[in-house]
Amino acid sequence: MILLDTCALLWWTLEPQKLSRRAARTCDQIRETGAFVSSISVWEIGIKQEKGKLELGTSLDDYVSRLKSLNTLTFLPVDEETWLLNLSLEWDHRDPVDRTIVATAKKRRLPIITKDQRIRRFYKRTVW
pLDDT tens digits for range 48-69: 999 999 999 999 999 999 999 9
Instruction: Tell me which DSSP letter residue 93 carries.
Output: -
pLDDT for 40? 98
pLDDT at 116: 97
Q: pLDDT band at residue 108, thresholds of 50, 70 and 90?
A: very high
Domain ranges within the chain, ordered by starting residue: 7-127
Q: What was the pLDDT predicted at 82?
A: 98
In 3D, which of 10, 55, 51, 12 has the Cα closest to residue 30? 12
pLDDT at 105: 98
pLDDT tens for 78-107 read 999 999 999 999 999 999 999 999 999 999
Q: What is residue 17's predicted lDDT score, i.e. its pLDDT?
A: 98
Sequence-separated (6 or more) residues with CB below 8 Å from residue 73:
4, 30, 34, 35, 36, 37, 67
| pLDDT for res 4 | 98
pLDDT band at 39 (very low <50, low <70, confident <90, very high): very high
Report the helix count and the strand count for the chain, using DSSP H and E.
8, 5
Compute the mean pLDDT over every residue in the chain, rounded to the nearest whole number.
97
Residue 3: how many CB atoms within 10 A of its CB?
Answer: 27
CATH class for the domain made up of 7-127 = alpha beta
Dist. CA 122–CA 69, nearest whole Å? 33
79 touches 73 (CB < 8 A): no
